[in-house]
């Protein structure tokens, strides 16, 4: 890192002497002045983001122009970002950007894209999981800053895959995952969901690889290694996304399509044929899709999440490719974020439930529109069941929608509370006000807040001014504060039900109690959701003989459906069904989706022999896992990186 010696000294002195905000003499004054963002007046202090060191209230980044080259040998991105600035006051000169493990090579300031001169900068001391603030002095009159930098091979927001970790086995692969605060590990930026930027990008790759971004992508021509992107709508940094690999494209509909490795493309396209209809269903409910195209990228199996709603290009795990479209509610979910999240964005990570609770609600409405009420109900019950488990085991403060994340990694907030409790809250409003009134309100919420970031308080205000004002009697029955600020569920909270599940529950009970043979169960006719319910409903004291019998009748150990296999393998560990252990190992080595593998390691770690086996498997599997997955698995296995 090239940094003037005096600046290094200054940085050291400042880092030990005072907290970041106090270093900037202009900060306190300007922070008091609210700054307009979109149609809403945003009071930056009210929406204070504990997970960003940036100072958008003073100098805000409005546009970024990325120019990066991917070096697969070094596993780094290298190049520059040019950021356009808007100052709350012409006299302000300190720009603060978030970074993590970036090597900053030079910083220049310019005016109108010209007159570039070296700018003073310092990289402040790093804070655990937040990274280091890059403090830049922007001369008066300058409106742009250009930063030359390179990423670390260990960047938390990037995963670099060897050819062996891909489907094709010939070319390497790399992908980003910026949410929650990992964008700063590959782009110096104001890494707060309250700051929106437009961007343009040029990405260079080795020939034979294609770069894709959550942006307007070039038409999928030959893989020449030089690609340009634009994102004309302002987006928060957690939606910045890039992937590079041997990727081909296939259209699904007139504005939908899928990118995947060549050998995965046909299977992906077949599974995802309903995507175009999903977009139409969502538009019918919530108004026009604001982003132009909706494409998906099917990633290699180490992708640590099920899906990520990157704008115009959802990133998805290949574990949804069940062969029978039974897991495509994940597409409905990521598509739903095009309204709840990407259009109306949580202003801070405390407000994460505004993204995920709303999205889970919208997801189920899309599923209902395409596949009927029964399917949506089954998925709601599965979610409710999982939520009940967390409500039993979580500390009270972690059961709250408007969660306190002070001093914590925002990724820790990804539990069923924002998703399922948040969704139940919206369902309770739907039940209270009736579907027509509630649907009109929700559509209005998306319209009123389009391209802005909102706090939980903004939501309370909006409800009070609209839906509640128009229906005062019904509003009087809503326990708004309790839903948002209290642990657990309020009395009278909705309790999703499914008729199909009632039948499955009955069979799980009688059969596990010793009645009838496994091959007499109607398992061949069950949907994926019914299977998941059946496996969830089996009692803790199920005998090993019954496990064997079930496996013999339905071949559960060799099931390709990743969700069913997950539940089955969990039972196998719990009941020491050793015949499934080789499959367990293959599963854990092949898949890196955190939600599917973490519970398996946790279950193994409950017994001394299990833990030994887990560590043995982890040794083989860990090199293939994403840094985010590694970070949550290391503590379970006592692994010292």
Residues that are catalytic? 334, 419
* Closest distance to ligand BES from the beta carbon of 357 (Å): 11
Strand-pairing partners, residue 87, are 59
First to last CA, the chain: 25
* Closest distance to ligand BES from the beta carbon of 334 (Å): 6
| Binding-site partner at residue 308 among Zn ion, ligand BES, none, CB < 5 to 8 Å by type | ligand BES
Q: 145 or 158: whose CB is closer to ligand BES?
A: 158
Q: Does 344 bind ligand BES (CB under 6 A)?
A: no
CA distance 306 to 317: 5
Counting residues that bind Zn ion (by CB under 5 A) gives 2
DSSP-assigned letters across all residues of 563-624: HHHHHHHHHHHHTT-GGGHHHHHHHHHH---HHHHHHHHHHHTTSHHHHHHHHHHHHHHGGG
Q: Does 191 bind ligand BES (CB under 6 A)?
A: no
Q: Does 422 bind ligand BES (CB under 6 A)?
A: no
CA distance 83 to 149: 13
Q: 223 or 402: whose CB is closer to ligand BES?
A: 402
Binding mask 620-639 for Zn ion (x = CB under 5 A): --------------------
Q: Does 313 bind ligand BES (CB under 6 A)?
A: no
Structure tokens at 339: 């309204």
Q: Does 181 bind ligand BES (CB under 6 A)?
A: no
Asked if 210 and 244 touch (Cβ cutoff 8 Å), the reply is: yes
Phi-psi domain of 555 (left: phi exceeds 0; alpha: psi -120 through 50; beta: other): left
CA distance 598 to 573: 13
Q: Does 309 bind ligand BES (CB under 6 A)?
A: yes
Q: Does 306 bind ligand BES (CB under 6 A)?
A: yes
The residue whose two tokens read 């698995």 is 633
Asked if 404 and 395 touch (Cβ cutoff 8 Å), the reply is: no
Stretch binding ligand BES (CB under 6 A), from 184-192, 199-207, 220-228, 328-336: 328-336
| Binding-site partner at residue 330 among Zn ion, ligand BES, none, CB < 5 to 8 Å by type | ligand BES
Stretch binding Zn ion (CB under 5 A), from 357-365, 368-376, 389-397, 515-523: 357-365
Residue 549 burial by CB count (10 A; 0-12/13-18/19+): exposed, middle or buried?
Answer: middle
- For 308, list phi and psi in degrees, rounded to 5: -140, 125
Residue 28 burial by CB count (10 A; 0-12/13-18/19+): exposed, middle or buried?
Answer: exposed
Stretch binding ligand BES (CB under 6 A), from 16-24, 107-115, 286-294, 332-340: 332-340
* Closest distance to ligand BES from the beta carbon of 607 (Å): 27
Q: Does 595 bind ligand BES (CB under 6 A)?
A: yes
Asked if 146 and 110 touch (Cβ cutoff 8 Å), the reply is: yes
Q: 333 or 533: whose CB is closer to ligand BES?
A: 333
| Binding-site partner at residue 300 among ligand BES, Zn ion, none, CB < 5 to 8 Å by type | none
**491 in helix, strand or coil?**
coil
* Helix 435-448 with 275-286: angle, nearest 10 deg: 100
Q: 99 or 329: whose CB is closer to Zn ion?
A: 329
* Closest distance to Zn ion from the beta carbon of 629 (Å): 17
Q: Does 379 bind ligand BES (CB under 6 A)?
A: no
Q: 20 or 362: whose CB is closer to Zn ion?
A: 362
Q: 261 or 309: whose CB is closer to ligand BES?
A: 309
Nearest 10 degrees: CA dihedral of 360, 350, 243, 149? 170
CA distance 79 to 204: 10
Out of 42, 82, 216, 333, point to the residue binding ligand BES (CB under 6 A): 333
| Binding-site partner at residue 595 among ligand BES, Zn ion, none, CB < 5 to 8 Å by type | ligand BES
* Closest distance to ligand BES from the beta carbon of 237 (Å): 13
Stretch binding ligand BES (CB under 6 A), from 29-37, 220-228, 306-314, 615-623: 306-314
Are β-strands 144-150 and 103-111 bridged in parallel, bridged antiparallel, or unpaired?
antiparallel
Residues 352-380: b if buried by 16+ CB within 10 A, e if exposed? bbbbbbbbbbbbbbbbbbbbeeebbbbbb
Residues 233-252 that bind ligand BES (CB under 6 A): none
* Closest distance to ligand BES from the beta carbon of 309 (Å): 5
Out of 334, 368, 379, 430, point to the residue binding ligand BES (CB under 6 A): 334
Q: Does 411 bind ligand BES (CB under 6 A)?
A: yes
The closest of 290, 344, 354, 298 to 321, measured between CA atoms, is 298
Strand-pairing partners, residue 96, are 135
Q: 343 or 467: whose CB is closer to Zn ion?
A: 343
* Closest distance to Zn ion from the beta carbon of 422 (Å): 10
Residues in contact with Zn ion by CB under 5 A are 356, 359
Residues in contact with ligand BES by CB under 6 A are 179-180, 305-309, 330, 333-334, 337, 356, 411, 414, 595
């Amino acid at each position: 890192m090239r940094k003037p010696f005096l600046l290094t000294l200054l940085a050291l002195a400042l880092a030990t002497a005072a907290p970041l905000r106090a270093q900037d003499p202009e900060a306190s004054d300007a922070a008091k002045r609210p700054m307009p963002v979109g149609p809403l007046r945003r009071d930056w202090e009210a929406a204070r983001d504990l997970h960003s060191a940036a100072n958008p209230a003073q100098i805000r980044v409005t546009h970024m122009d990325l120019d990066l080259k991917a070096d697969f040998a070094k596993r780094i991105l290298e190049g520059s970002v040019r950021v356009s600035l808007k100052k709350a006051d012409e006299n302000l000169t300190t720009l603060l950007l978030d970074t993590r493990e970036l090597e900053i090579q030079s910083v220049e300031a310019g005016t109108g894209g010209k007159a570039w001169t070296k700018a003073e900068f310092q990289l402040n001391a790093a804070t655990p999981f937040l990274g280091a603030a890059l403090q830049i002095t922007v001369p008066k009159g300058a409106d742009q800053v250009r930063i030359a930098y390179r990423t670390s091979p260990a960047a938390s927001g990037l995963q670099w895959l060897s050819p062996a970790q891909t489907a094709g086995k010939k070319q390497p692969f790399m992908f980003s995952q910026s949410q929650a605060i990992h964008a700063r590990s590959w782009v110096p930026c104001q890494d707060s969901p309250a700051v929106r930027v437009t961007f343009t990008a040029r990405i260079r790759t080795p020939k034979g690889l294609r770069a894709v971004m959550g942006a307007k992508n070039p038409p999928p021509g030959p893989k020449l290694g030089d690609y340009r992107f634009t994102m004309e709508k302002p987006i928060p940094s957690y939606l910045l996304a890039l992937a590079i690999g041997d990727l081909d494209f296939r259209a699904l509909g007139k504005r939908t399509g899928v990118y995947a490795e060549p050998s995965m493309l046909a299977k992906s396209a077949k599974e995802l044929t309903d995507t175009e209809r999903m977009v139409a269903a969502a538009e019918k409910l919530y108004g026009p899709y604001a982003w132009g195209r909706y494409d998906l990228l099917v990633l290699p199996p180490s992708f640590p999440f099920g899906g990520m709603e990157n704008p115009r290009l959802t990133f998805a795990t290949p574990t949804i490719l069940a062969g029978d479209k039974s897991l495509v509610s994940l597409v409905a979910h990521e598509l739903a974020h095009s309204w709840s999240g990407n259009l109306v964005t949580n202003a801070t990570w405390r407000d994460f439930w505004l993204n995920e609770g709303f999205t889970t609600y919208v997801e189920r409405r899309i599923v209902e529109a395409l596949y009927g009420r029964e399917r949506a109900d089954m998925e709601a019950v599965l979610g409710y069941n999982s939520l009940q488990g967390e409500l039993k085991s979580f500390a009270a403060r972690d059961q709250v929608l408007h969660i306190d994340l002070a001093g914590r990694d925002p990724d820790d907030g990804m539990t069923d509370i924002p998703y399922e409790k948040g969704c139940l809250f919206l369902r309770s409003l739907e039940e209270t006000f009736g579907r027509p009134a509630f649907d009109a309100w929700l559509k209005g919420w998306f319209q009123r807040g389009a391209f802005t970031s909102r706090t939980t308080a903004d939501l309370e205000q909006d409800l009070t001014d609209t839906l509640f004002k128009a229906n005062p009697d019904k509003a009087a029955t809503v326990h708004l504060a309790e839903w948002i600020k209290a642990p657990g569920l309020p009395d009278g909270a909705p309790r999703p039900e499914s008729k199909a599940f009632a039948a499955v529950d009955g069979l799980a009970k009688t059969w596990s109690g010793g009645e009838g043979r496994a091959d007499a169960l109607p398992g061949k006719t069950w949907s994926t959701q019914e299977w998941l319910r059946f496996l969830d409903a089996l009692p803790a004291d199920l005998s090993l003989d019954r496990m064997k019998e079930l496996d013999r009748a339905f071949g559960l150990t060799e099931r390709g459906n990743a969700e069913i296999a997950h539940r089955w393998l969990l039972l196998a560990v719990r009941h020491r069904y050793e015949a499934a252990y080789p499959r367990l190992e293959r599963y854990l080595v092949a898949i890196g989706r955190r939600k599917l593998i973490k519970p398996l390691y946790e279950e193994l770690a409950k017994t001394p022999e299990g833990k030994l086996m887990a560590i043995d498997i982890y040794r083989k599997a860990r090199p293939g896992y994403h840094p985010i997955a590694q970070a949550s698995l290391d503590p379970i296995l006592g692994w010292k990186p």
